[in-house]
C-alpha cells in the first residue's frame, strides 16, 4: 500500500486527477471505476480541467460506478446518476452508453445485480476510485459479519443514512436501500485509489490501513490488494 499525504485538498485532487488522466492518455480505452460522495468532487473538477486544457479525450473510456440508491430516479438530484452527470459526464466527451451505474429503479433488482456483474466481468476495471465512509464502508459495503463478493442490495446503516442526510432535505427522504458493487468486485480492479480527507475520518483511516483485516471495517480488506494508492489530506492522516 502506497500512502501519500498532502498539505491541501487541492494537491490531493490534482494528484488523483493527473493519475487518472495519465492512464486515459496512455490507454484511451481505459475502464474507470468511479465513486460518489463529497470527496471525489474536486477530483472530477480537475479531470474536467485537464480534459479541456490538455484535450485528453474520454471518447473510448468506459466507466462503472460503485453504487446507487434504490428507488431514486436518475433525474432526482440526490441520485448518483445525477451526481455523475453534473460533476463529470456532462463536462467531458464520454458517450452516455459507456457510463454505467447500477439501476436502482430496476423492477427486478436481483437481475440488475447479475447484469452489472456480467458487465464488470467482461470489462475489468483499470483504476477504481474509492472514498471512505465513517464506519469503514467502501461503496455501500457496510460493516457486517460477512460481506458479499458481487453486486448486491444493501440495507444502509443508520449512521450511513445520517451521514448522507446532509445532501437531502430531510432524513425521511434518505433511501433505506442501495445497490453496490461487492468488495470482491472492487478488489478485482488493477489499481485502487482510496481518497480520504478530513479530521473526522482520521480514526477510521487508521483502523482501515493499520488495523486487523475484518469485515467489520470493509476498507481494511484493501490491505490484501497488491496495488492500492491511498491519498490523504493532513487531517485524515494525522493518526497514522
Ligand atoms: C457514500 C458513498 C461512498 C462514499 C461515502 C463517503 O456513502 N456510497 O462511496 O465513499 O459516502 O462520502 P464522503 O466523501 O462525502 O465522506
Q: Which pLDDT score, from 0 to 100, does residue 43 have? A: 98
Please give the grid coordinates belonging to residue 164. Answer: 448522507
Q: Which of 117, 142, 207, 233 is catalytic?
A: 142
Q: Which pLDDT score, from 0 to 100, does residue 240 have? A: 96
Distance CA 69, CA 177 (A): 6
Long-range contacts at 69-73 (CB < 8 A, ≥ 24 apart): 69/104, 69/175, 69/177, 69/178, 70/104, 70/109, 70/153, 70/175, 70/176, 70/177, 70/178, 70/179, 71/104, 71/105, 71/175, 71/177, 72/104, 72/105, 72/175, 73/105
- Residue matched to cell numbers 452516455: 96
Q: Which of 137, 141, 164, 207 is catalytic?
A: 137
Task: Compute, in angstroms, the gap from residue 71 CA to the centroid of ligand 1.
Answer: 18
Residue 135 annotated as catalytic: yes
Is 132 a pocket residue for ligand 1 (Cβ < 6 Å)?
yes
Instruction: Name the closest-CA residue to atom 1, ligand 1.
Output: 37
Is 21 a pocket residue for ligand 1 (Cβ < 6 Å)?
no
Q: What does each C-alpha distance from 156 to 142, 160, 161, 224 come to in angstroms?
A: 7, 6, 6, 25
Residue 87 annotated as catalytic: no
Please give the grid coordinates belonging to residue 96. Answer: 452516455
Residue 2 annotated as catalytic: no
ipTM above 0.90, yes or no: yes
Q: Which pLDDT score, from 0 to 100, does residue 131 have? A: 98
Which residues are registered as beta bridge partners of 178? 69, 154
pLDDT tens for each residue of 144-175: 999 999 999 999 999 999 999 998 999 999 99
Q: Which pLDDT score, from 0 to 100, does residue 119 have? A: 98
Flag residues of the chain having pLDDT under 70.
Answer: none
Please give the grid coordinates belonging to residue 6. Answer: 498532502
Best CA proximity match to 20, nearest among 59, 65, 60, 58: 58
Best CA proximity match to 159, nearest among 175, 135, 178, 130: 135
Q: pTM for the full model? A: 0.97
Pocket test for ligand 1, best of 68, 133, 141, 164 (most atoms within 8 A of CB): 133
Query: Residue 170 phi/psi, 5° resolution?
Result: -150, 160
**Domains of the chain with bracketed CATH:** 2-233 (3.40.50.1360)
Q: Which pLDDT score, from 0 to 100, does residue 215 have? A: 98
Amino acid at each position: 500500500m502506497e500512502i501519500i499525504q498532502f498539505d491541501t485538498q487541492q494537491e490531493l485532487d490534482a494528484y488523483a486527477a493527473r493519475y487518472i488522466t495519465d492512464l486515459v492518455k496512455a490507454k484511451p480505452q481505459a475502464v474507470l471505476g468511479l465513486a460518489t460522495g463529497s470527496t471525489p468532487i474536486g477530483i472530477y473538477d480537475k479531470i474536467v480541467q485537464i480534459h479541456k486544457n490538455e484535450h485528453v479525450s474520454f471518447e473510448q473510456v468506459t466507466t462503472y460506478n460503485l453504487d446507487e440508491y434504490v428507488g431514486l430516479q436518475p433525474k432526482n438530484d440526490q441520485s448518483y446518476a445525477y451526481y455523475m452527470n453534473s460533476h463529470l459526464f456532462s463536462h467531458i466527451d464520454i458517450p452516455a452508453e459507456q457510463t454505467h451505474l447500477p439501476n436502482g429503479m430496476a423492477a427486478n433488482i436481483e437481475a440488475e445485480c447479475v447484469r452489472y456483474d456480467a458487465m464488470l466481468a467482461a470489462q475489468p476495471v483499470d483504476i477504481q476510485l474509492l472514498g471512505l465512509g465513517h464506519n469503514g464502508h467502501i461503496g455501500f459495503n457496510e460493516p457486517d459479519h460477512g460481506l458479499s463478493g458481487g453486486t448486491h442490495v444493501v440495507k444502509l446503516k443508520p449512521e450511513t443514512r445520517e451521514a448522507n442526510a446532509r445532501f437531502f432535505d430531510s432524513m425521511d427522504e434518505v433511501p433505506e436501500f442501495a445497490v453496490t458493487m461487492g468488495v470482491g468486485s472492487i478488489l478485482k480492479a488493477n489499481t485502487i485509489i482510496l481518497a480520504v480527507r478530513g479530521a473526522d475520518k482520521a480514526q477510521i483511516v487508521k483502523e482501515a490501513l493499520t488495523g486487523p483485516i475484518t469485515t467489520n471495517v470493509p476498507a481494511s480488506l484493501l490491505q490484501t490488494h497488491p496495488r492500492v494508492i491511498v491519498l490523504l489530506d493532513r487531517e485524515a492522516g494525522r493518526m497514522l
